[in-house]
């Protein structure tokens, strides 16, 4: 069933992906729209046609390239996938394809495909999410609903606090004005020099302490640099390097440290982050899937 993940990868770059002997997934361009104070970016709507079951070579060739096997072996794996899908669907199970949709049989034994609502397979609109905007009517209603009494109450409280501060400050200023100052310059200089000497003695750390702290900090930095990262969160894999570069630029604009790990099994693996442990990688993957449901990110272990 892991072969189903290749369907989304192919739909990002192709309008139709056919699984020989099973059916085809077809995408149609859906322009940007605006409805009920919500803007939706351009997208690709996905549908399923079980009559498109001939072998056009696209899916099997992609499996062969991704798995590092020949065409005949890839064809056998695809045939086993079709048998497993047919068996599980007939048994009443619903098959979920990450980022694409789900398949199931209804009560009349019709094969029903439900597309993933939160997934957008249009690379040109990658990173653009639907958003709602405030209408002029809603803004006017919000202004009318703000009570005027609350604003007046805040203003009165501020004036009272200011008045209290003035009443406290005036007697202090008068007391300072009438109090005679003693001009004992000698005692003042002695006092200032003594205080300055004491401050320098207390606040200036000794040289061995500073050297010890610097050594400990350098040792800690060196230990952090020694840790190697073998776990990578893969956001996408592309056969075309230009598409991979486009994807990297889009993810960097979103704040991710995207990088191309090179050609692996015939595809450019794009990493969105590297980690020293598997648990850290899983936590990052789960957090990303929470923000972008149906994204299909996965973990690659580099040995």
pLDDT of residue 199: 53
Give the least confident one: 160-174, 194-208, 262-276.
Answer: 194-208
What share of the chain has pLDDT > 70, as a percent? Answer: 60
Mean pLDDT for the stretch of residues 121-140: 61
Question: What token pair was written down for 77?
Answer: 């794996």
pLDDT of residue 62: 92
Domain boundary among 225, 241, 265: 225
Mean pLDDT for the stretch of residues 133-144: 64
The residue with greater pLDDT, 103 or 151, is 103
Tell me, yes or no, whether 101 lies in a domain: yes
Residue 71 has pLDDT above 80, yes or no: yes
CA distance 250 to 161: 52
Asked if residue 253 and residue 209 are part of one domain, the reply reads no
Asked if residue 28 and residue 87 are part of one domain, the reply reads yes
Residue 217 has pLDDT above 60, yes or no: yes
Q: What is the CATH number of the domain that holds 256?
A: 3.30.70.1070
Q: What is the pTM of this model?
A: 0.41
Asked if residue 151 and residue 72 are part of one domain, the reply reads no
- Domain range for 8: 2-135
Structure letter (DSSP) for residue 4 = G
Asked if residue 114 and residue 14 are part of one domain, the reply reads yes
| Position 154 confidence tier, pLDDT thresholds 50, 70, 90 | very low
Tell me, yes or no, whether 90 lies in a domain: yes
CA distance 256 to 288: 11
Residue 227 has pLDDT above 70, yes or no: no
Mean pLDDT for the stretch of residues 152-156: 47
- Long-range CB contact pairs, 89-93, < 8 A, 24+: none
3-state secondary structure of 198: helix
Tell me, yes or no, whether 130 lies in a domain: yes
Which tens digit of pLDDT belongs to each residue from 18-62? 999 999 999 887 777 666 666 667 777 888 998 999 999 999 999
pLDDT of residue 156: 44
Mean pLDDT for the stretch of residues 3-18: 88
| Position 144 confidence tier, pLDDT thresholds 50, 70, 90 | low
Domain boundary among 105, 135, 165: 135
Asked if residue 112 and residue 7 are part of one domain, the reply reads yes
| Position 83 confidence tier, pLDDT thresholds 50, 70, 90 | very high
Contact at 8 Å (CB) between 93 and 105? no
The residue with greater pLDDT, 91 or 131, is 91
Tell me, yes or no, whether 6 lies in a domain: yes
How many structural domains is the chain composed of?
A: 4
Tell me, yes or no, whether 190 lies in a domain: no
Tell me, yes or no, whether 189 lies in a domain: no
Question: What token pair was written down for 280?
Answer: 């850290």
Which tens digit of pLDDT belongs to each residue from 279-292? 898 898 888 888 87
Mean pLDDT of the chain: 75
Mean pLDDT for the stretch of residues 8-17: 88
Residue 197 has pLDDT above 60, yes or no: no
Asked if residue 58 and residue 117 are part of one domain, the reply reads yes
* End-to-end Cα, the chain, rounded Å: 25
Tell me, yes or no, whether 183 lies in a domain: no
Residue 159 has pLDDT above 70, yes or no: no
pLDDT of residue 185: 47
Asked if residue 130 and residue 77 are part of one domain, the reply reads yes
Mean pLDDT for the stretch of residues 146-168: 52
pLDDT of residue 63: 92
Cα→Cα distances 18→77, 102, 117, Å = 15, 16, 21
pLDDT of residue 122: 64
Asked if residue 287 and residue 243 are part of one domain, the reply reads yes
Tell me, yes or no, whether 127 lies in a domain: yes
Most confident residue range from 68-82, 134-148, 255-269: 68-82
pLDDT of residue 188: 44
Residue whose token pair is 């703000």 = 146
Mean pLDDT for the stretch of residues 226-230: 73
User: Using only C-alpha atoms, what is the Rg of the chain?
Assistant: 34
């Amino acid at each position: 069933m892991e072969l189903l993940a290749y369907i989304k990868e192919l739909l990002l770059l192709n309008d139709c992906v056919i699984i020989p002997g099973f059916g085809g997934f077809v995408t149609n361009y859906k322009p940007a729209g605006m409805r009920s104070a919500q803007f939706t970016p351009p997208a690709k709507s996905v549908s399923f046609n079980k009559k498109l079951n001939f072998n056009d070579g696209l899916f099997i060739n992609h499996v062969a390239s991704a798995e590092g096997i020949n065409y005949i072996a890839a064809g056998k794996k695809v045939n086993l996938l079709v048998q497993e899908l047919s068996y599980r669907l007939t048994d009443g199970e619903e098959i979920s394809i990450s980022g694409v949709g789900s398949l199931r049989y209804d009560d009349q034994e019709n094969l029903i495909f439900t597309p993933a609502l939160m997934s957008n397979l249009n690379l040109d609109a990658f990173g653009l999410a639907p958003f709602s905007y405030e209408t002029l009517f809603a803004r006017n209603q919000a202004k009318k609903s703000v009570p005027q009494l609350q604003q007046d109450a805040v203003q009165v409280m501020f004036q009272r606090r200011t008045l209290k501060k003035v009443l406290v400050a005036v007697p202090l200023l008068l007391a300072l004005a009438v109090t005679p100052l003693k001009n004992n310059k000698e005692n003042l200089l002695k006092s200032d020099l003594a205080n300055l000497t004491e401050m320098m003695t207390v606040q200036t750390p000794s040289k061995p302490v500073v050297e010890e702290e610097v050594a400990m900090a350098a040792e800690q930095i060196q230990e952090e640099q020694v840790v190697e990262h073998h776990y990578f969160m893969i956001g996408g894999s592309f056969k075309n390097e230009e598409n991979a570069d486009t994807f990297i630029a889009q993810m960097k604009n979103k704040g991710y440290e995207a990088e191309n790990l090179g050609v692996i099994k015939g595809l450019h693996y794009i990493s969105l982050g590297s980690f020293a442990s598997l648990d850290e990688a899983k936590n990052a993957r789960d957090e990303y899937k929470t923000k972008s449901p149906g994204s299909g990110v996965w973990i690659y272990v580099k040995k």
